[in-house]
Amino acid sequence: MSFVTGVGGLSAYWTRRSSLGLAAGLGVAATFGLGGWWIRSASPEKHEMAHQMCLISSVLFGGAMGYRAGSNPYVGPGGSMLAALGGVSSAYHLAKFLEWRAYEQHRITEAERLLRNYQAKHPDTAPHPAEAHELAQSHQQPGPFASHGRPHYERRRPVPPGGF
């Protein structure tokens, strides 16, 4: 999608000298490119946001191409095909966004369940979550790559809910 919208913006500028078309095409291309980069990155907290960002861009792209196809007196496949491409991209990113949101919600509920089970089995040793955070903060050893008071988390590539 990034390539298609970028080429479309450049084409609008070269054929009609439309600086608005160039800005819109390259802006949407940059948004899709950034979303794709975040999806391919190893940080799981950005996946949901990347799919949400690409979903918004897809809806805007599909709506603009649908409006263009409907208002153009020439009936051809170009505008309709681009509007359909925006619709397919919107459907894909909506499905992935909802899938990641459900996956994250499942992880949160599972962690809460495990914490409740641990606290039920060990009522005298299980600290309150706020106390546990303070305890973890006080036991951190500063090293050459200290995170300046933030807990260090191991970065691993997330396993998506559907699996790839």
150 in any annotated domain = no
88 in any annotated domain = yes
* E-only strand ranges, 4-142: none
160 in any annotated domain = no
25 in any annotated domain = yes
Q: Which residue type does 149 have? A: G
110 in any annotated domain = yes
Identify the weakest region by mean pLDDT among 12-21, 22-31, 91-100: 12-21
- Mean pLDDT over residues 48-66, rounded? 90
Tally of domains within the chain: 1
Q: Provide the pLDDT confidence category of residue 82 given band limits of 50, 70 and 90.
A: confident
108 in any annotated domain = yes
Complete DSSP assignment for 141-154: PP-TT--TTSPP--
153 in any annotated domain = no
Q: Provide the pLDDT confidence category of residue 53 given band limits of 50, 70 and 90.
A: very high
Q: Residue 164's pLDDT is what?
A: 47
154 in any annotated domain = no
